Structure 1
C-alpha cells in the first residue's frame, strides 16, 4: 500500500518515528513534509496529502499536528476526503471499517510514539467492509450536492455556461 504522511513542525518528531516504523513494513511511504522543525502551516500539508489521495497517487494518508484536530479539519475540506481523528486502536479501526476514511489524523501532543505506532498499524491492517455503506453514501451525496451547487454558482458569476 502507498501511504502519504505529513505533519506540521509541532509533529515533526512523531512523523519521523512513524516513517521509521513503517520502513520495516511492506508499505511505501511518501513524505509530504514538513521536512524540519521550521514552522509550516498544517493546512498546506493536509491539502497536499488530500490531493495525492484524491488523484489516486496514494492509497491512504496519515496526518499529524499538535492535537490532530487542525489537520483533520483541513483534510475534510478537500472534496471526496474523509479524515478521522484517531488516538486509540479502536477509533483507528473504526475510521476504516465504519467510515472508509482515507486519512487518519494524530496529535503529537496527545499520543506517545508507541501508541501512535499501534494506532497506525490498526488503521492500515483493516479494510472497509462496507458495513456502514448507507451512512457513508449519505455523506458522499451531500458533499457532491454542495460541490455541484457551488460550481454552478461560480459559473453563473462568470462568463461561462453550464448545461
Structure 2
C-alpha cells in the first residue's frame, strides 16, 4: 500500500508522526510536505496529495491542517476525490464503509498522536461495503458531471 500525505504548518508535527508510524508498519509513504512549521498555504498540499491519488501514485491520501476543515474543502474540489474529515476511528470507518472516501483528513490541533494512529488504522483497514451505498456514491459522482 502507498499513501500520499500532506499537511500545513499547523499539523506538521502530527504529519511527521503519522508518516513515521506508517513507515514502521511497512506502508510506503509519499510525503508531499510541508517540511517545517513555517507558515504555508494548505491548498498547495491538498492539491499535491489529491493529484497523487487521482494519478494512481498513491492508493489513498492523508491530509492534515489545524482543524481539517480547510484541507477537506480544498481536496473535495478535485473531481474524483472524496475527502472525509475524521476526528475519530468511527468516523473513519463509515467514511470508507459507506462513502468510499479515498482521502482521510485529520485535525492537527484537535487530535493527539494515539487517536490519529487509531483513525488512520481504521480508515486503511475498512473496505467499502458497496450495495446500497454504491448507489449513493454514484449519485454524488453525478454532481461532478453537472
TM category (shorter chain) comes to over 0.9
Equivalence for 2:107: 107
Deviations 1:111-142 (A, max 9, x none): 11110000001001111121410000001011
1:134 equivalenced with 2:138 (yes/no): no
> Who wins on radius of gyration, i.e. which is larger?
1
Q: Which has the higher contact order (CA 8 A, sep 6+)?
A: 2
Equivalence for 1:143: 144
Deviations 1:55-108 (A, max 9, x none): 111110100000001000000001111000001111001111111111010011
Distance 2:23 2:3 in 1: 11
Deviation at 1:39, TM superposition (A): 1.3
TM (norm. structure 1) is 0.87
Q: Kindly report the root-mean-square deviation, in angstroms, between the aligned alpha carbons of the 2 structures.
A: 0.8
User: May I ask how many residue pairs the two structures share in their alignment?
Assistant: 145
Distance 1:144 1:60 in 2: 23
Q: 1:60-71 counterparts in 2 under 5 A?
A: 60-71=60-71
Distance 1:43 1:75 in 2: 8
1:73 equivalenced with 2:73 (yes/no): yes
Q: Could you tell me which runs of 5 or more consecutive residues in structure 1 were left unpaired when the two chains were aligned.
A: 146-163
Equivalence for 1:6: 6
Moved over 6 A (4+): none
Q: Could you tell me which runs of 5 or more consecutive residues in structure 2 were left unpaired when the two chains were aligned.
A: none
SS of the residue 2:118 aligns to: helix
